[in-house]
Structure 1
Amino acid sequence: MQEKQEERLGSEPIGKLIVSMAVPSVAAQIINVLYNIIDRVYIGHIEGYGDMALTGVGVTFPILMLISAFSAFAGMGGAPLASIRMGRQEYDEAEDILGNSAGLLVLFAVMLTIVFSIFKTPILYAFGASENSITYAVDYISVYLLGTIFVQIAVGLNTFISGQGQAKIAMLSVLIGAVLNILLDPVFIFVLHMGVRGAALATIISQAVSALWILHFLTSQKSVIRLRLRKMRLKPSLVGKIASLGISPFIMQSTESLVSITLNSGLQRYGGDLYVGTMSILSSVMQLIVIPMQGVSQGVQPIISYNYGAKNGKRVKEAFFKMLAICFLGTFLLAGIAVIAPEIYAGIFTSNQALVNLTCEVMPVYFLGITIFGIQNACQSTFLALGQAKVSLFIALLRKVILLIPLAIILPKFMGVMGIYRAEPIADVISVLITILLFTVTFKKILHNMENRDMI
């Protein structure tokens, strides 16, 4: 019965399948990002010090992204491989991949908790904290780090649920925690007067509940592939294969952290706390725009991986082109709102009029290039789904490491603080154009060689 659930990835009409897979995945991604955004909305409206608390919590964003990046390394590195194995009907091998991914997540959780707990204060200063915001940053991250293991499991293993065609279950896994977070945030922040510590506590409790739900499903008979303790012992050969794919989403997310560090430190140098506060809002809005499209690609990715494993090139192409259209239209519309009517987004996060005004001034510049970013998102996800680790890695490095970070350092020397905001659209447009060229050259070749190649 359960095998039939994942076998529909190779037989059900693509349009219907994308809706059934992508809609729950988009919902799950949106709900997942609400963990941090809801915290910021509540924190930004704390009477008396909300604007500075929001700035302090924004400085912790690189650490949160690094923790999430390690989840992506094991989860998004392992899930496409497991889907490809299921496409070949190799279920025992798929379980080996699931077990090793889970083992990596536990190892990462222990390492990250120890390192960031010891060095959090100097790290936060390096990330753009000031004497005014450091207290709030330390308060938030000190509590959040206690739940690192729950974040690793909840984010990393949920990809293995969607990867077997169970998109609704994957969505429910996130929904449970998000609803709990929405309920607990105002209680801990305002009723119990815990401030930013309360926001962090609400988040880790919610993530813990999600993690327990996911573990329950993956160890039950409802799961096509089961998480078994004996398969969590790390095998170098499997870890290498997981790493070869996981390094791309890891870099995508970890470089987001590096970008945040570069932008925050530059804004603190050329502008001050108020400018750092705008980046806290802009990064949240960026998530609201990009995360739904990542949900689409995450929902379509198992379809591409499964049919690639089954050597069905026609379904692979159809799934890609439908995903491309959805992702492009999505970012064009959502980023278009930020360009045309930035006040719609800015007012959500703060009641400080000076911060709202400055954010509305810089937001149209910052998000101009994101209007076409859905194209790169679709191509990047397809390369990942096809097991093309090297190409996916290059695309991951291109926009942020090769283009955005150097531009964000160089441009303000000539343009002042606005050069930091202008670096984003320049990097976005150039990386999209290069990605289109690269994808056009390689996609047909990959499908042509599919029948004869020894796939991962």
Structure 2
Amino acid sequence: AVSLAFPLQLLIIALVAGTSAGVTSLIARKLGEKDRQAASNAASHGYIINIAYSIMMVIIGVFFAKNAVSLFTDDPLLVDLTTQYISIIMTFSFGRLLAQAGISILQGTGDMIKPMKAMLIGAISNIILDPIFIFGWFGVPAMGIRGAAIATVAGQILSFLYISVVIRNGRHEVDIRLRGFKPNKRVFKDIYVVALPGIIMQSLGSVMLTGLNIILIGFTPTAVAVLGVYFKLQSIIIMPMFGLTQGYMPIMGYNYGARNKRRMLDTLKFSLKIAFIIMATGATVIILFPRQLLLMFDASEEMIAIGKIALRSIAACLPIAAMSITFSVTFQAMGKGYVSLIASFIRQIIFLLPAAVILSRVVGLNGVWFAFIIAEIVAFIIIGPWLMRDFRKTFKKWETDFESFTVDKEALATDSVK
């Protein structure tokens, strides 16, 4: 049931991640341009957007959760269990959405410590509360899958409360004013230039998983479970990678706004090295210990047999994915979200799903896992050179603008002397 709910949860993640990228990028660029008022206005708009998202999620969670779940299965028991879980997650998603609104604002100003604390509060609370609510420890009634959902939203709400106190009581480079808020079309546009491609980009993950599940279930439901296990393991590896990109984006955006070519290149090189190390380390653990990792999820022998090949094949492309993800975030930091969208389309849809369909028919089940490797290699070959060309074009424009400014300044000085 939780695995079936995952594609729906990805839609919430898409809204959170996409909008956060738009707000963080805009705040960082405006601070780089020394325009604090515009940065503060962007922060206020970010909060209002997430409040609107929260209202929308309540409506979906209360009235449409069962209909959404029915798109993925017609098994009555699975529909009931998944609906119980996802309705709670969506109805109370305001905790995650508003917490992320505050986190993205602080990240846009370059503050990474407090957002990290907020995320840790949410994650640790969830880990502690999960067994209490699921199994009924310490006198709490056992709630099963409902308990898992309640533990999740409780952690998110605690994260939101912490970040709210931090923003209310702390001193920051931006001022958030919700009272007397006046919407500005230009600010919304500037946010969604990055956010909308980011939202679509994150939503592609849901499309990808749905497509892969359809292919895999044609072989055996166990293959679907294996894919779910892999993405749970991958999420652990992606967490530090996500932290890196969240720190990387405002620094890159700030220096892009300040037109600091050297700092941009240094930041990119450093981030690529760290990203590669993070993902290569995670890939090594998965490749060396697939059986032990699968047993953590109470895997059967059939699941282990399928999972060993699957985990090793998909994990092998994590180091390549590290570089492609960094390139994609770089485009977001520069306010060019549409390029990030194209990059994700290449990685997750254009090459992965067709390759999975073709190889599954030619090679069999293992062909689905090999498709990940092909998609990542092709995406890297396309996205890397694209970013380098964009850098050269941007730097050349800056040099031309600087030369024009210098000539105009000299002409003005000459006129003043005359």
Structure 2 length normalisation: TM-score? 0.88
Q: Which residue of 1 aligns with 2:31?
A: 86
Q: Which residue of 2 aligns with 1:36?
A: none
- The aligned amino acid for 2:328 is Q
Q: Which residue of 1 aligns with 2:163?
A: 214
Question: 292, 297, 305: which one pairs with 2:240?
Answer: 292
| Secondary structure class of the residue paired with 1:387 | coil
C-alpha distance after superposition, 1:295-346 (max 9, x if no partner) = 2121122111112222221111111111011112221221232233312432
1:335 is the counterpart of 2:280:
no
1:57 is the counterpart of 2:2:
yes
Question: 326, 332, 341: which one pairs with 1:393?
Answer: 341
CA distance in 1, matches of 2:302, 2:219: 17
Pair 1:77–1:129, CA change in 2 (3 A): farther
Pairwise CA distance, 1:385: 1.1
Question: 164, 178, 182: which one pairs with 1:229?
Answer: 178
Question: 198, 208, 213: which one pairs with 1:259?
Answer: 208
Pairwise CA distance, 1:453: 6.6
Q: CA RMSD in A?
A: 2.2
Q: Which residue of 1 aligns with 2:268?
A: 320
Pair 1:452–1:64, CA change in 2 (3 A): farther
- The aligned amino acid for 2:82 is A
Q: Which residue of 2 aligns with 1:173?
A: 118
1:66 is the counterpart of 2:15:
no
1:268 is the counterpart of 2:248:
no
Question: 36, 52, 58: which one pairs with 1:113?
Answer: 58
Pairwise CA distance, 1:256: 0.8
Q: Which residue of 2 aligns with 1:187?
A: 132
Q: Which residue of 2 aligns with 1:425?
A: 373
- The aligned amino acid for 1:190 is F
**Structural mapping, 1:410-449, within 5 Å:** 410-449=358-397
CA distance in 2, matches of 1:139, 1:423: 34
Question: 193, 198, 202: which one pairs with 1:249?
Answer: 198
Give yes or no for contact 1:71–1:152 (8 Å, CA) kept in 2: yes
Q: Which residue of 2 aligns with 1:348?
A: 296
Give yes or no for contact 2:57–2:91 (8 Å, CA) kept in 1: no
Give yes or no for contact 2:201–2:340 (8 Å, CA) kept in 1: no
C-alpha distance after superposition, 1:57-88 (max 9, x if no partner) = 01111111110111123211111110111122
CA distance in 2, matches of 1:159, 1:303: 13
Pairwise CA distance, 1:158: 0.7
1:136 is the counterpart of 2:89:
no
CA distance in 2, matches of 1:129, 1:249: 31
Pairwise CA distance, 1:450: 3.5
CA distance in 1, matches of 2:392, 2:379: 21
Pairwise CA distance, 1:231: 6.7
CA distance in 1, matches of 2:154, 2:211: 31
The unaligned stretches of length 5 or more in structure 2 are 403-418
Give yes or no for contact 2:28–2:253 (8 Å, CA) kept in 1: yes
Give yes or no for contact 2:26–2:191 (8 Å, CA) kept in 1: yes
Give yes or no for contact 1:72–1:156 (8 Å, CA) kept in 2: no
Q: Which residue of 2 aligns with 1:104?
A: 49
Identity of matched residues, %: 26
Pair 1:127–1:234, CA change in 2 (3 A): farther
Q: Which residue of 1 aligns with 2:311?
A: 363
Question: 382, 390, 411: which one pairs with 2:330?
Answer: 382
Pair 1:68–1:269, CA change in 2 (3 A): same
Pair 1:452–1:297, CA change in 2 (3 A): farther
Give yes or no for contact 1:128–1:261 (8 Å, CA) kept in 2: no
The unaligned stretches of length 5 or more in structure 1 are 1-55
Structure 1 length normalisation: TM-score? 0.81
Report how many aligned residue pairs link the two structures.
398
CA distance in 2, matches of 1:220, 1:451: 43
Give yes or no for contact 2:11–2:203 (8 Å, CA) kept in 1: yes
| Secondary structure class of the residue paired with 2:183 | coil
C-alpha distance after superposition, 1:190-241 (max 9, x if no partner) = 1232111101101101101111222222233422212211475432211111
- The aligned amino acid for 2:382 is I
- The aligned amino acid for 1:285 is L
Question: Looking at CA atoms only, which structure, 1 or 2, has the larger radius of gyration?
Answer: 2
CA distance in 1, matches of 2:259, 2:100: 29
